[in-house]
Amino acid sequence: MRYSQLLIPTAKEVPAEAEIPSHQLMIRAGYIRKVASGTYLYLLLGWRSLRKIMEIVRQEMDAAGAQEVSAPILQPHELWQQTGRDVDYGPNLCVFTDRHDRRNALAPTAEEVITSIVAAEVSSYKQLPINLYQINEKFRDEFRPRFGVLRSREFIMKDAYSFDADSPGLDKSYQAMYDAYCRIFERCGVKYVVVQAESGEIGGTGSQEFMVPTPVGEDVIVHTADGSYAANIQKAEVDALPKAAEIPDAPAMEEVHTPDVGTIEAVCEFLKTKPQEMIKTLVYAAGEAEEHVYVALVRGDHDVNEAKLRHFAEPGTQLAGERVIVEMTGAGIGFAGPVGLAGKVTKLVIDHAVAALAIGTTGANKSNYHMRNVVPGRDFPLAGENVFVGDIRNAVEGDTHQGEALTFSRGIEVGHVFKLGTKYSTCLGATFTDEAGVDKPCLMGCYGIGVNRILASAIELYHDKNGIVLPAAIAPFEVIVLGLNNDKPEVVAEAKRIHDELAAAGVDVLLDDRDARPGVKFKDADLIGIPVRIVVGERGMKEGNVEIKRRTDAKPSAIAAGDAVATAMELLRGPAEAAKEQSR
């Protein structure tokens, strides 16, 4: 392909709205252009890279026995109501009414649609197992789209859905997808780690995430130094802290006037105490009228992990509004405390670290007042019919898992595999008749890959001050041939020969035939991230040479022009693969 005939709008300046390297470079290199907040047009280079990623994904899905389908992005809202995920997704699910007064949703995923089709078409165990996948656009109405295509409203995802007759079958399908994912990320050339994860809105009994470690990642990876355990922050389990020594004859609770002091930091400063000595009381609610109230207690220096809290609460539970807080505690926001609440709430859920305190300070359930000398177990219960003690907080520095110290890093989620069980098959009637003639719900798994995220993650991993450095497998072109003297027929002819021979050998090659200065061509070649560069110039041609270099090499090497094609293929594929290509 000829550069002069293509739309590759490179830019020198860093876009003002782009916060991270991948976003900056995808715009500067002409991979994408912004259409609206969270939505992007992929130009030639970006789309070529995405197509290569999609083809790798497609090959591995097909090899693993999955069948490709294409589900609509426009889905009936009632399907989502049947599974309850209209509530789980909340405002992230884009819902609208069409001209026929029908409610529709723009799909962020396709469990409901695929399961409903299987419910209609599969009736016998003889039709199982089955795994259906698609590579398609999805939509989530993100409140704050950011980081370019890493957190966009519209995106491309590979989603697959397996249906099995029993647990061993589900385990086999899950492992097949797990193994396929490992091959996909290895073939794309991105480093990844696998972590235990929460299922979130998808649901199910277990899941794992594939993460690309990078400092700009939105996800926190928690792992032990020896690598025996890794999880995302929503899932990371922490050991219970040892119980503090009891204080003999602990003083009675004392109500203290704290006017207009509602935050942990302000209370600590006012009362001359520390956050780790505070008991933070958070009120959550569920139900149409927020009639079910859950109170979570964590230490003042800890944060509630809402994914963990969901194990104690019903679907749709979220932070309560001011009305519920005032009705439940009798106080304004910032002055809630656990004393006297157990008998008023659906559940009182206490973090291990709070239960381990000997004495603490908390809200007094009275506006502008706090309570000192509160002893867990004495002044509020640690057990009871609706009282639970467990791990409901985020891991922090200093925590351990099974005695091993936890460390923290950041990453980008690029893939997620789930064991769904019967959540969707039961709701949507995806059943089969077994060998004994008994109707049973299908056991499901689902498996997602963020295609856009693979590209952005690769750019986050592989870039330098000059631009993008992509692995050859997903680069928009594998080789770029630069002709430096367009006024010299022999240079133009040699550059075209090398380009044509590489193209004939199956190499994705770009011929930079623009009438531009050499410096511009060099800078653009580096910026757009093509793995191998061949330079044809008048000076070298006088000696029968061209220059060749990998994108990662500091300097080019002079080689005989006649060896350019073979050398480029060797750099791309290694000597063995290059020899195979030459023999064809």
- How many CA atoms lie less than 13 Å away from 211 in the CB half-sphere? 27
pTM, two decimal places: 0.87
| CA dist., res. 509 & res. 497, Å (int) | 12
CB 141 within 8 A of CB 94: yes
Count the neighbouring beta carbons within 10 Å of the beta carbon of residue 256: 16
The structure tokens listed for 455 are 């590209």
- The reported pLDDT for the residue numbered 202 is 55
Q: Where are the alpha helices (DSSP H) in 418-563?
A: 423-428, 451-461, 489-504, 518-528, 538-541
Per-residue pLDDT of 533-543, as tens digits, reads 999 998 998 89
Which residues, in sequence order, are CB contacts of 103 under 8 Å at separation 6+?
A: 76, 77, 78, 95, 96, 97
Mean pLDDT of 434-452: 96
Q: Express each pLDDT in 463-486 by its tens digit.
A: 999 999 999 999 999 999 999 988
pLDDT reported for residue 272: 93
**Can you list the positions of beta strands (E) in 396-522?**
400-401, 404-421, 431-433, 439-441, 443-450, 463-464, 467-468, 479-483, 509-512
Mean pLDDT of 195-216: 80
Phi, psi of 326 (to 5 degrees): -65, -45
For residue 134, the cross-strand partners are 159
The predicted pLDDT at position 583 comes to 47
CA distance 261 to 269: 9
pLDDT tens digits, 352-386: 999 999 999 999 999 999 999 999 999 999 999 99
How many Cα atoms sit within 13 Å of 287 on the Cβ side? 10
Residue 43 confidence (pLDDT): 97
| d(C-alpha 181, C-alpha 143), whole Å | 29
CB atoms < 10 A from the CB of 193, how many? Answer: 15
Specify whether the backbone of 578 is left (phi greater than 0), alpha (psi in -120 to 50) or beta: alpha
Say which amino acid occupies 320.
Answer: A
- φ and ψ of 110, to 5 deg: -135, 25
Determine phi and psi for 175, rounding to 5 degrees: -65, -35
Q: At what angle do helices 44-63 and 451-461 cross, to 10 degrees?
A: 110
Domains defined for the chain, CATH in brackets: 47-72+108-237+408-459 (3.30.930.10), 254-390 (3.90.960.10), 477-583 (3.40.50.800)
User: 187 near 473, Cβ under 8 Å?
Assistant: yes
Helix (H) or strand (E) holding 348: strand 347-351
- The candidate with the shortest Cα–Cα distance to 136, out of 217, 214, 50, is 50
Q: What is the pLDDT of residues 1-55, one digit of tens each?
A: 999 999 999 998 888 888 899 999 999 999 999 999 999 999 999 999 999 999 9
Q: Give per-residue pLDDT as tens, 257-292.
A: 999 887 899 999 999 999 999 999 999 999 888 999
What pLDDT sits at residue 146? 87
Query: How far out from the chain centre does Cα 260 lie?
Result: 40
User: pLDDT value at position 576?
Assistant: 43
- How high is the pLDDT of residue 579? 45
Per the prediction, the chain carries an average pLDDT of 93
Q: How far apart are CA 10 and CA 27, in angstroms?
A: 8
161 beta partners:
132, 446
Task: State yes or no: pLDDT of 245 exceeds 60.
Answer: yes
pLDDT in tens, 212-231: 999 999 899 999 988 889 99
313 closest CA partner among 291, 336, 285, 288:
285
